[in-house]
Every structure is written in C-alpha cells, then in structure tokens.
Amino acid sequence: MAQLYFRYGAMNASKSIQLLTVAHNYEQSGKKVMVFTPAIDDRYGVGIVASRVGIRREAIPVDEDTDLFHMVEAEAEKPDCVLVDEGQFLNKQHVTQLVNIVDKLQIPVIVYGLLKDFKNQLFPGSHYLLCEADKIEEIKTVCVYCNKKATHVLKFKNGVPVYTGETIEIGGNDTYSSVCRPHYYNPPVQS
C-alpha cells in the first residue's frame, strides 16, 4: 500500500543527499522515479536537486500552478516512486495532489524539507504535509555550536542573528545555521 512520507530536518541534516540516494537505489533496481523540486529554490539552478556534498541531478521544477497529480498521471510508464525536495515550499494544492498520487494512483511519495523557518514558525508546505502524511520522520543533525540536536534555524545578516524579515530568502550556510533551542535564543557572540 502506497504512503505519503514527510522526512524533515534542520539545514545540513542530509535531506537532499538522502533523496538522491533513494532515487539512485530505485533506478539501480530498474525502477522509475519522478523527482520534483520547487522552482523558487534556484541556488544550484532551477530544477536541480543538489546536496552540499556535491552530488546533483535534474528534477522537474514546481511553481505555484504546477499540477503534480496530472504530471504523474500523464506518464505513459508510471513511476514506482515520486520524490520531492524542499517540500516546505509547496502549497496546499500541491500537498493535496501528492495525497491523490498516493491514494488514487497507489504510488509512494517521499517529501523532504525543512519544518520551520528562521522565525520558528512552520512553513506552509510543512504544515500541510504534517496534516496529511502517513509517516512523519525526523532527519537529525547537531547544533553548529554544541552537540545537542538542532531543532531551529538561525538566520544571519552581516554576521548578526535576525528574527524578523522576509520568510523566504534562498540561502545556504552563509545565511542560515542549524542550532539547538538554547542557541537559537542565545547565540554566541560572533567575533
């Protein structure tokens, strides 16, 4: 029975490399996967899933109007699995379409993404995924300042932590750090 999986973690928790590994494993077994990624995440180019360790692959870009269900349903050879990177950027309609891929087409869907933004609020896509996923799995990583589990994302502007501003600003380790709760509220002073 197909299921919708939401695998979330803080930045640098290995979400993208895990997606790439799952895709590779399916394809090595002669199975077909469809990989999607939101077009808004253009750090490595639109339609590219890339890990910080340097592995990347092309994916189908998703914008506000993309109908994921229709795209999968229209495939002559149905995929054995649908993989989605950066699930936090999905909208409610996208999540409903993923649910329909699972329930109507009986194709498993695995979505990887962040849970919360730097303001410590759920991303909309993550909110809907939490409501609809059959299985919710945390991918853990450690705080950049200590050995506690990273549960928050700290944003920096000119080396100073910020807690307000635009929710979506695509960036990497130069802009965001994964931290534990104590270091989110009391980060060490940058020198």
Report the mean per-residue pLDDT for the chain.
Answer: 91
Q: What is the pLDDT of residue 18?
A: 93
* Nearest alpha-carbon partner for 44 in 57, 33, 35: 57
C-alpha 83 chain-centroid distance:
10
pLDDT tens digits, 121-171: 999 999 999 999 999 999 999 999 999 999 999 988 888 888 887 776 655
Q: What is the pLDDT of residue 108?
A: 98
Classify domain 4-138 at the CATH topology level. Rossmann fold (3.40.50)
Q: Which of 23-27, 38-42, 101-105, 134-138 has the lowest mean pLDDT?
A: 38-42
Tell me how far apart the alpha carbons of residues 178 and 170 are, in angstroms, rounded to a whole number. 15
Q: What is the pLDDT of residue 191?
A: 52
H helix or E strand, kind and range, residue 28: helix 15-28
pLDDT tens digits, 87-98: 999 999 999 999
The residues facing 15 across adjacent strands are: none
Q: What is the pLDDT of residue 158?
A: 82
Tell me how far apart the alpha carbons of residues 109 and 4 are, in angstroms, rounded to a whole number. 5
pLDDT tens digits, 55-78: 889 999 999 999 999 999 999 999
List the alpha helices (DSSP H) in the chain.
Answer: 15-28, 68-73, 92-105, 124-132, 181-185
Could you tell me if 6 and 129 are in contact, meaning their C-beta atoms sit under 8 angstroms apart? Answer: yes
Could you tell me if 154 and 25 are in contact, meaning their C-beta atoms sit under 8 angstroms apart? Answer: no
| Active-site hit among 27, 58, 77, 86 | 86
Q: Taking the model in full, what pTM does it have?
A: 0.91
Could you tell me if 140 and 8 are in contact, meaning their C-beta atoms sit under 8 angstroms apart? Answer: no
Q: What is the pLDDT of residue 21?
A: 94
Whether 174 has a pLDDT exceeding 80, the answer reads: no
Tell me how far apart the alpha carbons of residues 127 and 32 are, in angstroms, rounded to a whole number. 29
Based on the residue annotation, tell me whether 73 is a catalytic residue of this protein.
no
> Which position has the higher pLDDT, 149 or 42?
149
Tell me how far apart the alpha carbons of residues 106 and 3 are, in angstroms, rounded to a whole number. 8
Q: What average pLDDT score do residues 24-31 get? A: 96
